[in-house]
Amino acid sequence: MFDIVSFIPRAVAQSVPLLFGSTGEIITEKSGNLNLGIPGVMYVGAISGVIGSFLYERSFSDPSQINAFLGVLIPLACCLLGSLLMGLLYCFLTVTLRANQNVTGLAMTTFGVGFGNFFGGSLIKLTGAAVPSIALSATSNLFRRSLPLASGMGWFGKVFLSYGFLAYVAFVVAFAASYVLERTRVGLQLRAVGEDPATADAAGVNITRYKYLATCLGCMIAGLGGLYYVMDYANGVWSNDAFGDRGWLALALVIFTIWRPKVSAAASILFGGLYILYLYIPSGGNMAVKELYKMIPYVVTIVVLVFSSMRNMRENQPPESLGLPYFREDR
Amino acid sequence: MAHRVPAVSMRHITKEFAGKVVANRDVSLDIYRGEILALLGENGSGKTTLMNMLSGIYYPDAGEIQIDGKPVNIGSPKDAFDHGIGMIHQHFKLVNVFTAAENIVLGLKEKGRFDLAAASERIRQICDAYGFDVDPNQKVYDMSVSQKQTVEIVKLLYRGAEILILDEPTAVLTPQETDKLFAVLRNMRDDGKAIIIITHKLHEVLDISDRVVVLRKGEYVGEMATAETTAQEMTNMMVGRQVSLNIDRPPVEMDYRMERIRVKNLTVRNHDGVVKLDDVSFTAYTGEILGIAGISGSGQKELLEAIAGLQPVESGSIEYVVDATGPTEEVEQLIGMDPIKIAQMGVVLSFVPEDRLGMGLVASMDLTDNMMLRSFRDGTSPFTDRKAPRHLAELVVDELEVNTPGVSTPVRRLSGGNVQKVLVGREIAAAPTVLLSAYAVRGLDVNSSYLIYDLLNRQKGNGVAVVYVGEDLDVLLELCDRILVLCGGKVSGIVDGRTTTKNEVGMMMTKLGGGEA
């Protein structure tokens, strides 16, 4: 029997990193920057948080004694700082130096994954543990803390109230991003920058500033996705390459939702569900079949890409100048 | 008038690009309130560059700009707005997926909540005051060119612009729309605004402006009151020597005239399934220039592309008469034929699209390589012949007076008019039997335009069937033997270029078969 009450919370837990990643990338792409470095940024966000909380936990002989407030704040600040630096690097290369966005992004993904694994490996060496992973259970407990009354509310509590605070942050950020993009002056100007920077420039919008701010903010939001994965989803256990290809799935989600963060809130749960669907489909002992089921999110992405490129509505197209550098005196 | 303080005074402005090309050298000019100033000059004479410095797109290398007598520093478009300067560019600066209202408020820092409804209300008030017709909620991509231009003007007025610059505003308008625009400009002038209009259409200068300033090769040549000058005098100043202003129209050699292209009941749909050509029929003859008139987007592009084999056709036929002198007429059906084969038969297309480089030329390749685009398939050697295209490039540069450092310069570096000369020159060099040319003189100055007309006439004399899609009705009326008028993809009529009037053609462009609107 398909257990929907246990399926949904797991799907939502899967969806949170995707939602952070796609919201961050949508904000970035609306400024005309195609940041393919998002998977790398999420790695850097995760490992930065891990480093922060690792050092903080190590400063106590008994990690369970850590200050609840600092225990959350330190990894959070480290994560945001790490992702911000990645965003600044990307902007400096593509906006200031006008380097090719695709090459820069891909290089940053390679760099970010390597950076995560290098420092992850170093920390594992420091602990001298037998297993190739770091467990930050004290910090993780803080991140995973849900409302105390959730457990007493049956299926409702399980489906809606059983998550750590970062999961709620993800959904709030997505809806807030949608509101800002659609309803505010800043959002209008940001969209104009991504659609037609020459027009926005002639209208007095500071292109460089908008591109920097949107891209850096996007990276910081995406970085939180990495942090959520380690601290909440993986119970504070960092092991190299565990984050996998979620960053790429977040990028696919951007196109799937045709650049709408609030759609992403629902779509990410769909993707998260598809990601773990293989655990719920009875396949007996046949492992090969399970591996095939793991393909489902990617197959769905391809199918959606086919359909979304067939629908030819003007509003559903990517920002017009996505991926193109802007130089005012270009002739 | 020495006591009047100019609204804008530009003093000794110099601007260079990439340290080499001098766009403006030591230019000084004054603009007064309640006056329309025409800025006249050939292509690449630096009119647009000069105005871009006023609107903050470029920054001058040397010189000073004064507003109301006070020196100012205009470092960005925002600074220009703050001084009440607004510019309407040749390529509209509008975001396609935004509505009119969204475009108009873009970049404004108004106090209070972001309220599109209130903005729309103010836009309606401005429209009522000056007689514009704008729906604030319409998306820009749904608008006609003239509607987009109106949005641009409203945008400037909404921002309280006092000094308006219009860069070739009439290039894309029908005569009727132009009249409407000029009426609005006069309204605004009488309202005390300073207006600068960049153009190279002399009759428009005479029609609308109070004063005219002439630039040549980036330098100021002189200025005069419009009432005291003539088209001939302005042309001479602009070009720097005596130029004849009449377009030749050699008579058609009726004895040798024969049918060349027969289009019957042609219907074409574009990608979105919209009918672009509806039941179009006509015949193009050898030794004749057939003009095609119509509001932009009435199917001109699709018609030429269908003949050249680049556009899928829904129904109808396009026949190419190979030889009509024999006992039986030899005819080839062009529909379904490979474009390369059509080109080999002598049907060439010289299409100058809006961005000039979109079709026909590769921006980053030099002149020689662009000539090779036509000839690289020739011969059997695995290596391409670079000598012949090089000679051709040199010939085109020479004959058409292309202003370029050399034939190894990337086409991108040339100014728009020069790019066009290269394209038209190459197509004509292919010794065609049918020459399809669209907007061959778009954005070209008087001198270069006449060179092109001359080339077309020579082709006509050689017995080529020339199809000329044009925007300037005055030119169509002077150059073409017959004029086919398109209206919304349908043939509105075919008239004789020698007897028809501008008004008649203008009417037919907006309404099938003409008649009173």
Contacts of A93 (CB under 8 A, 6+ apart): A99, A104
CB B92 within 8 A of CB A202: no
Q: Distance between CA A158 and CA A168 in Å, rounded?
A: 14
**Residue B304: pLDDT band with limits 50, 70, 90:** confident
In chain B, the domains with their CATH numbers are 8-239 (3.40.50.300), 246-348+431-517 (3.40.50.300), 366-430 (no CATH)
The H or E element containing residue B116 is helix B116-130
Taking contacts as CB-CB distances below 8 angstroms, the residues of chain B near A320 are 96-97
Q: Distance between CA A193 and CA A28 in Å, rounded?
A: 11
User: What residue of A is the nearest CA neighbor of B104?
Assistant: A203
Q: Averaged over B8-17, what is the pLDDT?
A: 88
Q: Distance between CA B316 and CA B309 in Å, rounded?
A: 13
CB A326 within 8 A of CB A198: yes
Averaged pLDDT score across all residues of chain A: 89
Query: Is B17 part of the contact surface with chain A (CB cutoff 8 Å)?
Result: yes
Taking contacts as CB-CB distances below 8 angstroms, the residues of chain B near A312 are 271-272
The token duo for B32 is 């007064």
B93:A199 CB<8 A: yes
Tens-digit pLDDT profile for residues B170-209: 877 777 788 888 988 998 899 889 999 998 778 888 989 9
Report the length, in residues, of chain A. 331
The token duo for B497 is 């270029």
CB B463 within 8 A of CB B260: no
Q: How far is A325 from chain B (nearest CA, A)?
A: 17
CB A110 within 8 A of CB A38: no
B107:A315 CB<8 A: no
CB atoms within 10 A of CB B454: 13
* Residue among B57, B89, B107 whose CB faces A189 most closely: B107
Q: Distance between CA B29 and CA B196 in Å, rounded?
A: 11
Q: Which residues of A156-191 are buried (b: 16+ CB within 10 A; e: fewer)?
A: ebebebbbbbbbebbbebbeebbebbeeebebbbbb
The token duo for B252 is 């058609």
Taking contacts as CB-CB distances below 8 angstroms, the residues of chain A near B114 are 183-185, 188
Query: Is B364 part of the contact surface with chain A (CB cutoff 8 Å)?
Result: no
3-state per-residue secondary structure call for B408-430: CCEHHHCCHHHHHHHHHHHHHHC
Task: Give the three-state DSSP class for A304.
Answer: helix
Residues 260-299 of B with CB under 8 A from A: 271-272
Q: Distance between CA A21 and CA A224 in Å, rounded?
A: 8
Q: Distance between CA B80 and CA B101 in Å, rounded?
A: 21
Q: Which amino acid is at A35?
A: N
**Residue A222: pLDDT band with limits 50, 70, 90:** very high
Match 């225990």 to its residue by tokens.
Answer: A71
CA separation, residue B381 to residues B302, B341, B378, B384, B511 (Å): 36, 20, 9, 7, 55
CA separation, residue B45 to residues A287, B120, B138 (Å): 74, 39, 37
User: What residue of B is the nearest CA neighbor of A199?
Assistant: B93
- Higher model confidence: residue B223 or residue B417? B223
Q: With 90 as the cut, is the pLDDT of residue A75 above it?
A: yes
CB A267 within 8 A of CB A66: no
Taking contacts as CB-CB distances below 8 angstroms, the residues of chain B near A196 are 93-96
Q: At what angle do helices A207-228 and A4-30 cross, to 10 degrees?
A: 160
Q: Averaged over B449-463, what is the pLDDT?
A: 85
Look up the ipTM and state it: 0.85
B98:A331 CB<8 A: no
Backbone phi, psi, residue B333, to 5°: -90, 125
A202:B77 CB<8 A: yes
pTM of this prediction? 0.76
Per mean pLDDT, which range of A7-16, A97-106, A171-180, B446-455 is the poorest?
Answer: B446-455
What pLDDT, on the 0 to 100 scale, is given for residue B516?
Answer: 45
Q: Phi/psi zone of residue B209: left (φ > 0), alpha (ψ -120 to 50 degrees), beta?
A: beta
Query: Is B95 part of the contact surface with chain A (CB cutoff 8 Å)?
Result: yes
Tens-digit pLDDT profile for residues B97-116: 999 999 999 988 777 778 88
Angle at B125 between CA B121 and CA B128, to 5 degrees: 135
The token duo for A208 is 């460089």
What pLDDT, on the 0 to 100 scale, is given for residue A211?
Answer: 96
Q: Which residues of B281-292 are buried (b: 16+ CB within 10 A; e: fewer)?
A: ebbbbbbbbbbb
- Output the CA torsion B276→B282→B286→B287 (10° steps): -80
Averaged pLDDT score across all residues of chain B: 84
The H or E element containing residue B25 is strand B21-31
Q: Averaged over A194-203, what is the pLDDT?
A: 89
Q: Which of A178-192, B330-344, B438-452 has the highest mean pLDDT?
A: A178-192
Greatest extent of chain A over all pairs of C-alpha atoms, in Å? 66
CB A264 within 8 A of CB A221: no
Tens-digit pLDDT profile for residues A233-253: 999 999 888 888 899 989 988
CB atoms within 10 A of CB A221: 31
Cα-Cα end-to-end distance for chain A: 65
Q: Averaged over A206-225, what is the pLDDT?
A: 96
CATH of domain A4-319: 1.10.3470
* Residue among B77, B110, B141 whose CB faces A203 most closely: B77
**Residue A41: pLDDT band with limits 50, 70, 90:** very high
Q: Distance between CA A189 and CA A202 in Å, rounded?
A: 12
B81:A204 CB<8 A: yes
A312:B271 CB<8 A: yes
The token duo for A217 is 């903010």
What pLDDT, on the 0 to 100 scale, is given for residue A21?
Answer: 96
The H or E element containing residue A55 is helix A38-58
